[in-house]
Amino acid sequence: MRIGELAALVGVTTRTVRHYHHLGLLPEPTRLGNGYREYRLRDAVELARVRRLTELGLSLDEVRDVLADDRGRELREVLEELDADLARQQEAIGAQRDRLAALLAAGEPDPDAAVSPDLAAVLRGLPVAGSPSAALDRDMLALIDTGAAPAERAAFTALLQPLADPDIAARLPDLYARLDDLADADPTDPRVPVLATDLADCLPAELLAAMRDPRGRTWLDELSRELGPAQAAVFRHLSGGTP
């Protein structure tokens, strides 16, 4: 038999056979005078064995190990491990499909705000138009949401829920506008403490508390980098006073 025949017999390509030779999974057969490989039935049997193992999902390295490590006992371990691996994959795919189903069921899957649905609702209630600080806020909130574990995410959304209240939402555009006005101001600007007071008045107490704990401060630091000095000063006032 020549290589094409062998390959057809077992149902692989000639490229595959040569690949197995290259990796040493299959011994190189004797050559004919013209350099062609000459196979015998036993080679086909060996090839078929390799194929069966790969089709079970073994990697070529694993196949080599199994073939080397004579018969049976190692194979059993590998197969069991493989099964466990497949079980994990099944589970992972199932979870993945659940997530997909949730997204698809939500009507319009918007990866832009592929934040948790509750947060999305809050964000929709916040004003954005034309205010850089408001846009920053949205970005920040989205980021916190995507990075958090589900449990934290729920707590976080709960913190923000009050902002969706119409009374509060109505006061936000003015506050954002005043924050925008401080973009190029000096941190000692007299408007800073006034705005901080008005903000503290408007925001829920729990949210203010969260801004004072270490995790909240980290995020505020992040946010402050993108703000002007006076704007950052406002948040320093909010999150703990003087420093």
CA 64 to chain centre: 35
Amino acid at 224: S
- Output the smallest distance, CB 110 to DNA, in A: 21
With contact defined as beta carbons under 8 Å apart, do 238 and 211 qualify? yes
What CA–CA distance (Å, rounded) separates 6 from 9?
A: 5
Q: Which one, 6 or 144, has the nearer CB to DNA?
A: 6
The answer to whether 2 contacts a copy of itself (rule: CB under 8 A) is no
Closest CA to 26 of 5, 8, 42: 42
Return the residue of 14, 21, 48, 178 that touches a copy of itself, per CB under 8 A: 48
The answer to whether 83 contacts a copy of itself (rule: CB under 8 A) is yes
The answer to whether 143 contacts a copy of itself (rule: CB under 8 A) is yes
Return the residue of 9, 48, 54, 161 that touches DNA, per CB under 7 A: 54
With contact defined as beta carbons under 8 Å apart, do 182 and 166 qualify? no
Return the residue of 44, 56, 60, 140 that touches DNA, per CB under 7 A: 60
What CA–CA distance (Å, rounded) separates 173 from 96?
A: 39
Residues near DNA (CB under 7 A), total: 19
Element (H, E) at 105: helix 73-105
Q: How many residues in total does the chain contain?
A: 243
Q: Which one, 69 or 165, has the nearer CB to a copy of itself?
A: 69
Site for a copy of itself in 186-225 (CB under 8 A): 222-223, 225
The answer to whether 97 contacts a copy of itself (rule: CB under 8 A) is yes
Return the residue of 5, 80, 139, 226 that touches DNA, per CB under 7 A: 5
Could you tell me what percentage of the chain is helix, strand and coil, using 3-state DSSP and rounding each to the nearest 5? 75, 0, 25
- Output the smallest distance, CB 40 to a copy of itself, in A: 6
- The CA-atom distances, in angstroms, between 194 and each of 44, 137, 231, 234 are 86, 20, 12, 9
Phi, psi of 114 (to 5 degrees): -80, 35
53-61, 172-180, 187-195, 222-230 -> range binding DNA (CB under 7 A): 53-61
Residues near a copy of itself (CB under 8 A), total: 55
**Cα dihedral 213→214→218→219 (10° resolution):** -30
Residues forming contacts to DNA in the complex (CB under 7 A) are 2-5, 13-16, 18-19, 33-37, 54, 59-61
Residues forming contacts to a copy of itself in the complex (CB under 8 A) are 1, 9-11, 40-42, 44-45, 48-49, 51-53, 56-57, 66, 71-72, 75-76, 79-80, 82-83, 86-87, 89-90, 93-94, 96-97, 99-101, 103-104, 108-112, 114, 136, 139-140, 142-143, 146-147, 222-223, 225-226
